[in-house]
Chains A and B, each alone.
Chain A
């Protein structure tokens, strides 16, 4: 029993990491039908921007601000204007492929201009463990979980309680009507890209001390987050959190009780089962479109 508790707590900690990456995934999908295969690399890159600033002699706190701002500029504004805008009206797939190429480009650029080595990254959450239900859990993991939950709470509040949020939702659900009633649709879409960039930068800050700053660390994250987003229901921010946590826990339980060699298979089987019995995902809404 105590063993099970260990696994649950550890699984939630890892799941929170997937969740926070998955949130941005669903945001972009909701507002602009963008499947971002580079989402994992988007999480990997800000840490390197911060490291680069620190190598230039900038203090850590300033490097964080620099990293976040530059991410919003590159991964928010730049990504939307240079890649998404010209391709969006040509359907989901060409854009998804372009983000795949972007993922390769980002990885290679970091490897070439920075290093192929993993670099340690300072943690803003103090290193160390804290006792939860008598289990030792690292403070870093709790920090990630806290961020994931507050991101969702803040986003939900923003979307449901503010007029800006209502405009964003309108822009996402029916751009044509939204435009007619005077919602600045373009600006709302841009806003979601900026929010996504801000989130990935924040995630980068929290995750990198655990995953280390390495050019390839986005691969595992991006794929896990993609699956978490599908499991949770692609169109719900809450769903992404649920999906992420579930994948994290299931992965751990699978490794402990099924087989370490096949641990990655169990979340996949879960995915197939969910598609068969609850195709809109755990917390998703059924989509109106059939194709």
Chain B
């Protein structure tokens, strides 16, 4: 009898607890570069997250529970990122989002893994997902998967034998430069000039004159959008005619806006872009512009996708279990037909890398024209 009462009480306590948990919001922690050198990256990421959370909550949340995101600023400094991630983990979040800088990811990933909390980040450096961390996930192609596509295009389509590389000297630019240099070596493509530039650089005359002197068959430009625009203008001014190849940061709408005519003819591989010829992406762009009054770059999409990754993984598990998220995401394919928020079909592999459709585009008369669709691998 006694034991029955106790069991009854325990049951009541359990169900009471469960009922409480049912209503409580799911806490998600975001640590991003909201100030300092990466502020543009971090604020796009944050805005994307906020937009997605708003949408998800408006439709009743995840498994009936609302999402609640807290944002913390890393000041683009790995030391502060570590402190903020530590603080976020002390608060026992469901999932950790960010940071965007690869260095900050490197310093924080071991902490999240130790706490067995899934970390969905914005970093693109190749090495991030190669250390066997079971809790780390990308939101975009790592450089190890985007650069080979660019190198292949330069070799197969342009038949270039020598290439000049222009890169921005931070972890993003250097990472891309290092991966593509290795790819070029595989095709026996010679690096005619290897030029590092500074973030925020305004004057590219010296860099372009070096390119001119090297007379390469093609120029690979891997700098941020604003610098891309200045670079394109200077290339045009000094009359460089070699084909210009890049990534999202060379052929985005923003670059076209800033560089005008000079952007015509620039080509590149694009993983995530608000210019993608996909209806869901176009709708996303409209919603974003309506809320924030500007067109997001790929970091805005990344933040938005991160929330829908959490949603899809949670719905797959059928319960809110922080330790299970990583497991649920490994090998998961999210179809845009079922989860429109994911925008394009995507698959996560065992390392936390993603597989998704990509595009090769060219700027023609100030518009992105899709030259080739690079299908999803599986």
Q: Using CB atoms and an 8 Å cutoff, list the residues of chain A in contact with chain B.
A: 3, 6-7, 9-11, 13-14, 17, 107-108, 111, 115-118, 120, 127, 129, 136, 138, 210-212, 214-217, 219-220, 248, 251-256, 260-261, 263-264
A261, B200: Cβ atoms closer than 8 Å: no
Interface size of B as a range: 20 to 34
- Cα–Cα, bound, A136→B293 (Å): 36
Shortest distance from the beta carbon of B328 to any chain A beta carbon, whole Å:
33
State whether the Cβ of B54 lies closer than 8 Å to any Cβ in chain A. no
The A-B contact count (CB < 8 A) is 88
Q: Is the CB of B155 closer than 8 A to any CB of chain A? A: no
Contact B200 A260 (CB under 8 A): no
Shortest Cβ distance from residue B201 to the other chain A in the assembled complex, whole angstroms:
8
Q: Nearest Cβ in chain A — how far from B27, in angstroms?
A: 25
Question: A115-B294, A129-B237, A138-B237 are known contacts. Are A263 and B206 too (CB-CB below 8 A)?
Answer: yes
Cβ of A210: which chain B residues have Cβ within 8 Å of it?
A: 202
B210 on interface, CB distance cutoff 8 Å: yes
Minimum Cβ distance to chain B for residue A264 (Å): 7
Expressed in whole angstroms, the Cα–Cα distance for A138 and B212 within the complex equals 19
Contacts of A3 in B (CB 8 A): 209, 212-213
Distance A261 CA – B198 CA, assembled complex (angstroms)? 8
Complex CA distance for A220 and B200, rounded to whole angstroms: 7
Which one of A11, A108, A252, A253 has the greatest number of beta carbons of chain B within 10 Å?
Answer: A252
Q: Determine the distance from Cα of A118 to Cα of B249 in the docked complex, in whole angstroms.
A: 14
Q: List 16 A-B contacts (CB under 8 A).
A: A7-B206, A7-B209, A10-B205, A11-B205, A13-B203, A116-B34, A116-B44, A118-B226, A129-B237, A136-B238, A211-B202, A214-B226, A216-B37, A217-B200, A220-B202, A255-B206
Contact with A along B172-209 (1 / 0, CB 8 A): 00000000000000000000000111101011011101
Inter-chain CA distance A18–B127, complex, in Å, is 39
User: A-facing mask of B279-303, CB < 8 A → 1, else 0?
Assistant: 0000000000000011000000000
Contact call B226/A6, Cβ cutoff below 8 A: no
Q: Is the interface of A mostly helix, strand, loop or mixed?
A: helix
A17 to B213, CA, bound (A): 27
Say whether B40 contacts A252, CB under 8 Å: no
Would you call B257 an interface residue if the criterion is a C-beta within 8 Å of the partner chain's C-beta atoms?
yes
A117 in contact with B40 given A3-B209, A108-B35, A260-B206 (CB within 8 Å): yes
Name the one of A118, A120, A129, A252 contacting B203, with C-beta atoms under 8 angstroms: A252
By secondary structure, the B interface counts as helix
Contact A116 B39 (CB under 8 A): yes
Cβ-defined partner of A136 (8 Å) among B198, B206, B207, B237 = B237
Partner of A11, one of B198, B200, B203: B203
Chain A residue with the shortest CB-CB distance to B167: A260
Cα A215 to Cα B257 with chains together (Å): 19
Selected from B35, B44, B206, B294, the residue in CB contact (under 8 A) with A10 is B206
* Inter-subunit contact B169/A261 (CB<8 Å): yes
Contact flags (1/0) for B209-232 with A, using CB distance below 8 Å? 110110000000000011000000
CB distance from B96 to the nearest CB of A (A): 22
Within B38-67, the residues touching A (CB, 8 Å) are 39-40, 42-44
List B243-260 residues whose CB lies under 8 Å from chain A. 257-258, 260
Is A261 a contact partner of B196 (Cβ separation < 8 A)?
yes
Give the contacting residue for A117; candidates B35, B200, B238, B294; CB below 8 A.
B294
- For B258, what are the chain A residues with a Cβ–Cβ distance below 8 Å? 118, 120, 212
Q: What is the CB-to-nearest-CB distance from B36 to chain A, in angstroms, rounded to a whole number?
A: 8
Q: Which residues from B are CB-within-8-Å of A251?
A: 203, 206
A212 closest partner in B (C-beta): B226
Other than the given A117-B44, A252-B203, 6 more pairs (CB < 8 A) read: A111-B39, A117-B40, A120-B258, A215-B39, A251-B203, A261-B196
Could you tell me the distance between the alpha carbons of A216 and B224 in the complex, rounded to whole angstroms? 14
Structural contact, B206 and A256, CB atoms closer than 8 A: yes
A219 to B206, CA, bound (A): 22
For A108, the closest partner residue in chain B by CB is B35
Q: How far is the CB of B253 from chain A (nearest CB, A)?
A: 12
Name the residue on A nearest B197 (C-beta).
Answer: A260
Question: Inside 8 A of B225's CB, which chain A residues have their CB?
Answer: 118
Contact of B39 among A17, A216, A256 (CB under 8 A): A216
Which residue on chain A has the smallest CB distance to residue B300?
A: A117
| Alpha-carbon distance between A263 and B203 when the two chains are bound, in angstroms | 12
A14:B209 contact, CB within 8 angstroms: no
Chain A residues whose CB sits within 8 angstroms of the CB of B237 once the complex forms: 129, 136, 138
Residues on A with C-beta less than 8 A from B226 are 118, 212, 214
Closest to A224 in B: B202
